[in-house]
Chains A and B, each alone.
Chain A
Amino acid sequence: MRAAVQFAAIARLACLEAVRRPVFLLVALTVYAGIVLMPFLLHYTLGESARIIRDSALALYFVGGLLLAATAAGEALARELRRGTAATVLAKPVPRAMFFLAKTAGIAAALLLFSLAALAATLLAVRAGASEPQRDWTAALPALLAVILAPALAGAWNHRTHRPFASAAFLLLLLFLLLALGVSAALATPLDHFVFPANFDWPILRVGLLLILCLGMVVALAAALATRLQVAPVLLVCAGVFLCGLMGDCLLGPRLADSWAARATYAVLPNVQAFWLLDALDLAPTIPVDYLLLAAAYAAAWSAAVLCLGLVSFQRLEIS
């Protein structure tokens, strides 16, 4: 029970510290604004606007998420180790393993919140722009208002209470985007040639879930690396590993049959292609639950292995 309280306290603080960093808000706001503005930026899509918006929005979300996962994990561990806050906490009766895992869980929670808002924005943007050149204002207007009002209200709240602006703006963005989704879902689309059942392209959520799992793997790798590296190298290595993972089939596929080194590298690299299933949505109406479970098991196993390495590294780390 005491261990659960300690774990929750450290994880909650890690999550709060992550969303309180200005860079987190900057990246999140850029991603959300980019997604909700997408219907207004695309022209001459030859009836493919829904697919283009969907693919672009999820790509933007994934790149933003990768950036946030790597920097937030790097900040939560590497910077705290350097700044000394980790020493103060570890001088208390907190096992090192718990500290490391709780920090990772806190960052993962922050990424989950980021993902929820990004997926809400994606659903709204796809609905708003699916009938290009017409715009569905019942989806576009609530989304735009959410992205504009959240920072404005957070600024006013900060002016009044002196509480951190960045976390308030981020949490209001999440709240307003979910509210916008609710409001938009309650309104029938005015466009008679709308392409989705029940107003929204809901199968996007299943791809979103897969991307959330993939971002969880990024968090695990970033946390493990941050026990030894600073923020910038953590970001570079994470980006490199997941880029190689994305291109794994292309780079290593032809050599898998006759090279044990290729097979070993292929097994160790995260198989990002398994989580990027947007093309599959064009061929099938949805992604089967069995596949989602298998992908979740793979992500959990890969993350657990990486976290074990991180734990070994952190147990041996000298905190000076």
Chain B
Amino acid sequence: MSAWDEVRAGIEAGDAQGVGELVRGLGDDARRAVAKELPAYLRARVAETGRGGLGDRVAQSLLVAGACTIGGAAAAATWLCRSDLRPWGQGRDERAALQVREATRGRPAEWRADVARRVAGRIRPSGDLWDSGLLWHIAAELAREGGFEPPLSDGFVFGWVALGGPPVRLRDDPFLDALLPRLFEADGVGTALTSPGAGVGSPAYWTTELAALAREGRVDRKVLLDGCVSRFLRGGTARELRSFVRLHDALEPTADEAADRTRDHVRLLPAAPPVVAEAALREVVRADEAGRLDAGLFDEAAGALLFRPEKKLLRAALTWLGRTARRRDRVGATLRAVTVLFASDAADLSERAVKLAVRYAAEADDGVREAVRDAASELPSDQRELIAAAFGAVAAPAVPSSPSGPPPFEPRELPAPIGSAAGLTEEFLAALHGEDDRPGIERLLAGLVELAYRDPDGTRGALERAAPDITPWLGHGGQMNSYSPRVWAAFCAQALLSGSRVKVFHPAAAFRRGDAWLRDRPREPLLHRFLVWRMREIAGAVGRVPALLATPTAASGHVDPGELVDRLERLEAAGVRPGAADLAQALLRVPRVVDAGAVTRAGRLSSKEGRAVASWLAAGGLADPAVECESLTLPRADVPLSGTNEPTHQTSVLPTVTVPDGVPRDIARLWGLPESGPWTRIPRSRFWGKTTWWPGSLPSHTEVAAAHLLPYSPEWGDDRWDQGEVLLGLAETDGPTGAATATVLAHGLSSRHTGDRAGATDALLAFCGRGRLPSAELGAAVATLSAQGTVKINRVTQALGAAAEAGAHGAVHTVVAAALPGLLPAPGARPAAGLADLLALGTRTAEATGARGVVAGLAEVAGRGGSGRLAKEAGRLHRTLAPG
């Protein structure tokens, strides 16, 4: 039996210790022979068992065998770092590392140090140590055993923090002296310090332990303090630096120590994360109190602090500056520094800066007085007057910064229709992998229908040739259940490829009868059911009709009446009838203003559908349905799980659409809300389909489309449902706007994600640009929904602010003024987060437009006084709106 056979038997038995003893007893040649067999053996085992299937004991035995037999340090380290030899589970890493240590006992010290260094170099200084825990333990065991200097790689230091600690206490740790300076340099240590590994228990373990060692004189305080400051200077995120701030504070630096590092602390003020900047400010203030902050550094510190965006730091800085200006004999420098806050958006900060300036006015020299006067032009008029009274006349502010009036509305353009089979093929493939955008897919379907009628064989051939890897999955019956319109489009193409006739009875009935008829898909929205019906109908019409009636000719979704009459003429000439859904959609897409020529031509149409269109055009569309919105408290349709604390009832805004008489049956069914009887439950607000298609289905009835969207819009606050795109689509439609439009817009403006909120803001501007924004209703909706908890004022304020900057001052002011009465808090009540900013926006827009007026409740809140920001902003808005 060769040495390898014996070793292999040991490995297969999972007897790591036995393998260790065995290989240590081998001669050099036998070891080399074993080492040579190992890689191939491992490959075969892994191939047999799959990754991670070796089992811990086998893996450990292999580690030990390799550690003992592989000659070169580099090759041995590579073996030890193999990911398929990592044990799984608690405590296995330590045991495996001990075995490796024992197995290499006979190796020369330099070899072991080299292996330790190489293994340590492979530890990634981040994330969890699941996969590199073993490496750290091997390197650490080798270093401890050999008594040589531990590896200094970032990964090893990181592992030391994350895995070291108890049972070895820090004071007894052999690595302490060597690794301590690296603690402040290695990447990843900061986060590891706050979330140390198992056994340590408290996140403050490292900081309290190190501070204690410094007190005892076991480690040099200077190393720790300088280390912290170095780490701060090297930069990082708050998360990485927080534990060093804790250590720094736990060391309780003396006034002298603070003063020795004042220059560094000042240099941290401009750009360090807030948690570091606050600590640095504390130290700077202490140095200042000890009289160790020179004039140059003071200027630098004050300038850096007052430029920061964090209000907390600004307040702390103002307190410091105000308290020490006279005592430290630097009134001039202080006043020059605080003028920067005159331009602050926060009324309490700018007012505090003004107050501070006025307090020291008498001690300021001419240069300083001029600087204060210059900066004061930025202030609102009442504050400007305070400065003028103390410092002399102040120039009026410069011209307003924003454009006047919202940007003009620019409708999107539709791409030209698809003209060739090759083009259709490319578009078809792109659509299958692209977005579900309505204009694109309707264009694709129109092209498919027309080409399939004109040139069925050519079109079928082009599609078949170009899509060999896509066609097989087309055409399964379940596809119409998909929520994705591009899958519907694929289904339509499949109808052409397979030549089989698609039945449309099922979706038509699902639309018409709704809940009662189709039990398996009970809660799908009306408009969605209508879409499914229409798409299915198109699949049945491919190759049989020359054109679709309802394909839009404008991005808004409208169909040009002349073009509609053309299409009907082509259908009549071909002797085919349009589908019922296609006809209904075409009627809904007729613009609100129809030119006389189209009406005349429509009169000559002879088919039943042609006459229906003619009378619709002649009537100039229909009277608008009445849309009303109401806050209702009802049981929820999605009953909360038992055992949760969620309420069973909910208050929501729900729409009612009342359809006038004389409207065709399918259209009346499509418009009306709720579907049957009054609302008895708050419907589920989550719907996975594409609501982006809805506005373009009702392009002449904005408020109706909004009413249909409304039950689903509460979801827009925290999640992404393409609300920006939906609202932009809505803004392009025509027709009256009111409470429903305002409510969905308010939900969109409260989107959590910047992109969605920007989309809602664009929609607001588009409504404004077309003179169709229901401003007062929007304000009221914001207040109502804020009270119901579905709209966040800080987000809405940010969006409205952006709209104002884009030029919509007037409309935004109306919105804010309408929202405030419902939002201003009663005495003692907690205001909505961001209300102060909304008040400030009200002031800004009032100043830009010269608006005056009375906001219910504002005088009362302003009159309550107080030093908080809300009181200051309420006071400022009240004064701005006061007539005079």
- Asked if chains A and B come from one complex, the reply is no
User: Residues on B close to A: CB < 8 A?
Assistant: none
